[in-house]
Amino acid sequence: MINDSFLDEPRDVPSTTPMARVVAWSIFRSRAEARNLLDHVHLAPGQTLVGGHGQDSVAPYWWVGVQVPDMGQWGNASAVNKKGRLGD
């Protein structure tokens, strides 16, 4: 069984507060939707699931992302889920 306790941690999505080596994330409006994704993520060796919950101007959110051990091995830094330098 996948440990989903990280979803209970208050942590802004990386596009708001950058998090080291997080290359992809998805945002959900319920914890159950975020939890459902966990069973469908396939990780490479050394990769881990990360996430948390926060609130924006619309409603609470939960997010799930992938943290890689080495950005250089990720292959394409432009594929990181971001817009600007800090995700803005």
Tell me 83's DSSP state: S
Greatest Cα pair distance in the chain: 36
Q: What is the pTM of this model?
A: 0.83
- Could you tell me the two tokens for 13? 């999505």
Please tell me the predicted confidence (pLDDT) of residue 85: 44
Distances in Å between the Cα of 78 and the Cα atoms of 6, 9, 45, 87 are: 26, 28, 21, 12
Please tell me the predicted confidence (pLDDT) of residue 79: 58
Query: Region 40-69: what's the mean pLDDT?
Result: 94
Domain edges within the chain: 5-72
Give dist(CA 38, CA 33) in Å, integer: 9
Q: Which amino acid is at 64?
A: V
Give dist(CA 40, CA 36) in Å, integer: 8
At residue 59, does pLDDT exceed 60? yes
